[in-house]
Amino acid sequence: MDIKQQIEGLKKLQTKLYGNDFLLTWEKSNDELKAILEVAQILKDMRGANISPRLFDSGLAISQFRDNSTRTRFSFASAANLLGLEIQDLDESKSQIAHGETVRETANMISFLADFIGIRDDMFLGEGNKYMREVGAALDDGYATGVLPHRPGIINLQCDIDHPTQSMADLLHLKNEYGSLENLKGKKLVMSWAYSPSYGKPLSVPQGIIGLMSRFGMDIELAYPDGYELIPEVVELAGKQAKASGGSFKVSHSMKEAVEGADIVYPKSWAPFHIMQKRTELLKKSDRAGLDALEKTCLAENARFKDWEYNEGMMKRTKNNNALYMHCLPADITGVSCAAGEVAGDVFEQYRVKTYLEAGYKPYIIASMMLTQRFKDPAVVLEKVLEQNNKRVPFR
C-alpha cells in the first residue's frame, strides 16, 4: 500500500491519543492501537522513500533509563532525531527511588523546553509505572500553573507492568507477517517461559505480550513452570480481552504441550512474580547478602527447568513445523550466548533475521507514539509532510 492510501486509512480511525501519555497498551482503544501502527508504518515507508518527517525545528526529548538499555535507548534516540528533537539523557547518579517532592520538582526543572520524556523503570515491582504517573502528575501541575509552556508527553520505555514499545513493535511485525490484523484471528500464539542461566528478568515483556495480543482474536496460551506466575491482574485482563475479541486465553504448565499446533511462539525467560516482590524489598533495603541468597535459590530453581528450551523438537510440534519464532532480544541462545538457554542455536538462526526485523519496528513505534501524542490530527500532518516532500538526504 502506498503512503497516501495508508494516510487515508488512518483518517478513518477515532482516537484520543492527542495529549495523553502512552503508559499501558490496555489503556488505549483498538482504533488507537491501529493508529499507532499505521503512523509507524507510514514513517518507516517515508524513511525508505527519503522523505523527512521532521516535525520539530528544535526541542528536547529526554530519556531516563533507570535500568541498562542499548536497543531501546537507540530506538528512542532514533525516533526523536527523526522528528527533529535532540536527546538529553537524565542520568541519576544513584539508583534510589526518588519519591514525592523530588520527582515533582525534577520533572518540572528538566521540562521547561522539553517535548517528551521517555522512561524505563522496570527494576522495582509496584514502582515503575507508578513513578511514570507521578512524573505525569508533576507535568500536569507544571502546565496548569504556567510553569511549563506545554505539557511534555511521557512514553513508557518499559516498566514493571508493561513494555508497550516492545509489544507494539511485535504487533506491527505480526501484522506485516500475516498481512493484516484481521488475519491474526484464530492464530495460536504461545507466550512461554523458557530457561535462562540468569535470573531476575522483568515480567514486563510476557505481560505486555499477553496484555496486547489477546485483543485480536488470537488463541493465546501462556505457559510456565508452576511458580513462575505473572502479575495476576494482567493475566486476568488478558483472559477477558481474549474472550471479548473472539479468541481464547489459557494458562498451562508445559512448553512441550503448549507449542502443539502453535502459529506463533514467544519463548522468553522471566522471574516469578513472588520472587520479584521479594527482590524489590531487598533492593529497597540494599540488602546485598539477601539478594545474593535469593539469586542462588532462584538459579537452583531455574535449573530444574532446563528442558524449557525452544528447540527442533519443540518446533516440530508447531503448525507445519514452523511456527513464527519471536523474541525481544537479546535471547539466551544455547551454544551461542550460553551453554543452555531459551532457544537452541539452530532454531534461533532460522529466525534470526526475522527477530531483527521485529526489533526494527521499535524506533518507528516510538516516533509514532510521539507524533500521535503531540498532533491532534496525525493524518493531516503526515499529508503535509508528504506534500512538502523534504528530503532527509537532500543531494542523494
1 binds a second copy (CB under 8 A): no
Decide: is 140 part of the binding site for a second copy (CB under 8 A): no
Query: x-or-dash pattern for a second copy, window 100-139, by CB under 8 A?
Result: xxx--xx-xxx-xxx-------------------------
Confirm or reject binding of residue 77 to a second copy (CB under 8 A): yes
Q: Does 333 bind a second copy (CB under 8 A)?
A: yes
Alpha carbon distances (Å) from 316 to 36, 148, 207, 322, 333: 35, 57, 26, 7, 18
Which x/- pattern over 292-331 shows residues binding a second copy (rule: CB under 8 A)? Answer: -------------------------------------xx-
Task: Among 2, 14, 289, 394, indicate the residue that binds a second copy (CB under 8 A).
Answer: 394
CB of 111 to a second copy, least distance (A): 8
Residue 385 makes contact with a second copy by CB under 8 A = yes
Q: Which of the ranges 210-218, 296-304, 309-317, 333-341 carries the binding residues for a second copy, by CB under 8 A?
A: 333-341
Q: Taking CB under 8 A as the rule, does residue 82 contact a second copy? A: yes
Q: Which amino acid is at 167?
A: S
CB nearer to a second copy: pick between 142 and 247: 142
Q: Is 181 in the site for a second copy (CB under 8 A)?
A: no
Closest to a second copy by CB, 81 vs 254, is 81
Query: Nearer Cβ to a second copy, position 97 or 259?
Result: 97
336 near a second copy, judged by CB under 8 A = yes
Map the footprint of a second copy across residues 43-72, applying CB under 8 A: 47-48, 52, 54-60, 62, 68, 70-71
- Which residues of this chain interact with a second copy, rule CB under 8 A? 47-48, 52, 54-60, 62, 68, 70-71, 74-75, 77-78, 81-82, 84, 86-88, 90, 93, 100-102, 105-106, 108-110, 112-114, 142, 145-149, 329-330, 333, 336-337, 353, 356-357, 359-360, 362-363, 374-375, 380-381, 384-385, 390-396
